[in-house]
């Protein structure tokens, strides 16, 4: 088992190289081993390009016959943009496959394993499965529900404040935490904010990291279209989506469309509020697999009340702001502790002087 973990660890590290670039596909890494030696390896780089298993087989060439393949996800058995990996594995003469987990995709889900076993290949599944599932948590949610994985990101003080009473928030966290925040943007298809954040901060919502090929889609929840036409998020060629209600001003809507924005109109959900469950269903049909929500506090509260948050990432700075500061999450209107939304702590990491906490719904 230690041997399995050693090679699967390598496969997982390879898979991580595809972070932020494989959507809507999963991140996958593969390592081909023969006589204890790695003879081929690869990772999926981008949707439409060769899968990890095919790259590992190509690198190994004829040496692949009689080898064992370690792969982070069950090999695919269906035709998509590329041919099935299972056929390539069988043709290459591989005698054993170790997969971290079954593919949750209903088009695969055990079929690849069955085809390999019918071809006489020994298959083992479940090595380092928990880590493999975390790696592809976005893909798993999207492929099984057709809805995006939703992550709420907060940067706050020790006492849960995101800004002074004046609204000043730059900078609560240190530079290392802010760099990590941009890394997070690179991991998801879209970054979302409420109109209050746009009016207060006028953010760019871009991913300012060297080597980043594209920015995430920018989504603004703005029920009545208060967004200024000169907002900075319109200043580049990145895709902008504005979520409004069917009651929004039609003339302003036409102006925003002329600026290049896509407008999603939802039914009103309580007064003039955007219907958030409907919004995320629509985003799923657009192929958006993961959304990073960066505020504000009212939007995060609404998402929590609607049980739409899958995960929270909270950067905590070692400072106090006090009761007069702005809270990280708006009013949840809860009158009993047992009714408060609960999360499970996933991890803690120190980043510079700050702490990054991950927590999962439930």
Q: How many domains does the chain contain in total?
A: 2
- Is 243 annotated as belonging to a binding site? no
Q: For residue 352, is pLDDT > 70?
A: yes
Q: How many Cα atoms are found within 13 Å in the side-chain-facing hemisphere of 325?
A: 20
In the prediction, which pLDDT does 215 show? Answer: 82
Q: Write down which residue in 77, 110, 137 finishes a domain.
A: 137
Q: How confident is the model at residue 338 (pLDDT cuts 50, 70, 90)?
A: confident
Is the domain of 131 the same as that of 236?
no
In the prediction, which pLDDT does 334 show? Answer: 86
Question: Which range has the worst mean pLDDT, 140-144, 149-153, 167-171, 190-194?
Answer: 167-171
- Is 309 annotated as belonging to a binding site? no
In the prediction, which pLDDT does 212 show? Answer: 66
Average pLDDT over residues 227-245: 92
Average pLDDT over residues 70-86: 83
Name every residue whose Cβ is closer than 8 Å to that of residue 26 and which is 6 or more positions away in sequence.
Answer: 44, 73, 103, 136, 139, 143
Token pair listed for 208: 């300012």
Is the domain of 73 the same as that of 199?
no
16 is catalytic: no
Domain with 244 in it: what CATH number?
A: 3.40.430.10
**Pick from 29, 279, 256: nearest CA to 131:** 29
Average pLDDT over residues 272-300: 94
Q: Write down which residue in 83, 103, 137 finishes a domain.
A: 137
In the prediction, which pLDDT does 254 show? Answer: 95
Is the domain of 212 the same as that of 177?
yes
Is the domain of 294 the same as that of 319?
yes
- Is 155 annotated as belonging to a binding site? yes
Q: What is the pLDDT of residues 145-180, one digit of tens each?
A: 999 999 999 999 999 999 888 877 788 999 999 999
Is the domain of 116 the same as that of 157?
no
CA of 46: how far to CAs of 18, 54, 82, 173, in Å?
7, 14, 12, 33
In the prediction, which pLDDT does 80 show? Answer: 64
CB 31 within 8 A of CB 69: yes
Q: Write down which residue in 137, 157, 182 finishes a domain.
A: 137
In the prediction, which pLDDT does 165 show? Answer: 83
Q: For residue 311, is pLDDT > 80?
A: yes
- Is 85 annotated as belonging to a binding site? yes
Q: For residue 270, is pLDDT > 70?
A: no
- Is 223 annotated as belonging to a binding site? yes
Average pLDDT over residues 315-333: 91
Catalytic one among 9, 16, 41, 53?
53
Is the domain of 167 the same as that of 133?
no
Is the domain of 226 the same as that of 318?
yes
- Average pLDDT of every residue of the chain: 92
Token pair listed for 221: 């929840």
Specify the pairing of strand 311-316 against strand 354-361: antiparallel
Is the domain of 43 the same as that of 71?
yes
* 34 or 207: which leads in pLDDT: 34
Domain encompassing residue 42? 1-137
In the prediction, which pLDDT does 296 show? Answer: 86
- Is 205 annotated as belonging to a binding site? yes
Is the domain of 128 the same as that of 217?
no
In the prediction, which pLDDT does 31 show? Answer: 98
- Is 201 annotated as belonging to a binding site? yes
Longest dimension (CA), the chain: 69
Is the domain of 292 the same as that of 220?
yes
- Is 196 annotated as belonging to a binding site? no
- Is 319 annotated as belonging to a binding site? no
Domain with 81 in it: what CATH number?
A: 3.40.140.10
Is the domain of 128 the same as that of 152?
no
Q: What is the pLDDT of residues 97-107, one digit of tens each?
A: 999 999 999 87
Q: How confident is the model at residue 81 (pLDDT cuts 50, 70, 90)?
A: low
Is the domain of 104 the same as that of 233?
no
Reduce the secondary structure of the chain to three states and give it as a string.
CHHHHHHHHHHHHHHHHHCCCCCCCCCCEEEEEECCEEEEEEECCCCCCCCHHHHHHHHHHHHHCCCEEEECCCCCCCCCCCCCHHHHHHHHCCCEEEECCCCCCCCCCCHHHHHHHHCCCEEEECCCHHHHHHHCHHHHHHHHHCCCEEEEEEEECCCCEEECCCCCCCCCCCHHHHHHHHHHHHHCCEEEEEHHHHHHHCCCCCCCCCCCCCCCEEEEECCCCCCCCCCHHHCCCCCEEEEEECCCCHHHHHHHHHCCCEEEEECECCCCCECHHHHHHHHHHCCCCEEEECCCHHHHHHHHHCCCCCEEEEEECCCCCCCCCEECCCCCCCCCHHHCCCEEEEEEEEECCEEEEEEEEC
The structure's pTM equals 0.92
């Amino acid at each position: 088992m230690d041997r399995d973990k050693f090679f699967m660890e390598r496969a997982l590290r390879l898979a991580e190289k595809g972070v932020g670039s494989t959507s809507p596909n999963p991140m996958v890494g593969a390592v081909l081993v023969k006589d204890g030696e790695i003879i081929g390896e690869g990772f999926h780089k981008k949707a439409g390009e060769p899968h990890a298993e095919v790259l590992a087989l190509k690198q190994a060439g004829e040496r692949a016959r009689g080898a064992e393949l370690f792969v982070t996800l069950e090999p695919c058995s269906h035709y998509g943009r590329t041919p099935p990996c299972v056929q390539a594995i069988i043709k290459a003469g591989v005698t054993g496959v170790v997969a971290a987990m079954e593919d949750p995709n209903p088009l695969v889900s055990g079929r690849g394993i069955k085809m390999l076993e019918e071809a006489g290949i020994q298959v083992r599944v479940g090595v380092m499965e928990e880590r493999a599932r975390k790696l592809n948590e976005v893909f798993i949610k999207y492929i099984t529900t057709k809805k995006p994985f939703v992550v709420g990101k907060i940067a706050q003080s020790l006492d849960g404040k995101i800004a002074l009473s004046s609204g000043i928030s730059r900078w609560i966290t240190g530079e290392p935490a802010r760099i990590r925040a941009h890394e997070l943007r690179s991991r998801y298809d879209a970054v979302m904010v409420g109109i209050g954040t746009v009016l207060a901060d006028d953010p760019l919502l871009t991913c300012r990291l060297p080597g980043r090929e594209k920015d995430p889609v920018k989504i603004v929840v703005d029920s009545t279209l208060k967004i200024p036409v000169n907002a900075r998020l319109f200043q580049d060629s990145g895709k902008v989506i504005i979520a409004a209600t069917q009651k929004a001003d039609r003339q302003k809507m036409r102006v925003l469309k002329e600026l290049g924005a896509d407008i999603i109109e939802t039914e009103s959900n309580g007064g003039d509020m955007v219907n958030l469950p409907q919004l995320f269903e629509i985003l799923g049909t657009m192929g958006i697999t993961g959304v990073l929500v960066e505020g504000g506090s009212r939007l995060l509260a609404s998402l929590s009340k609607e049980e739409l948050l899958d995960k929270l990432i909270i950067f905590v700075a070692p400072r106090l702001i006090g009761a007069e500061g702005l809270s990280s999450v708006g009013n949840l209107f809860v009158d009993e502790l047992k009714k408060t939304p609960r999360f499970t702590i996933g991890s803690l990491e120190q980043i510079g002087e700050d702490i990054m906490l991950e927590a999962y719904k439930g």
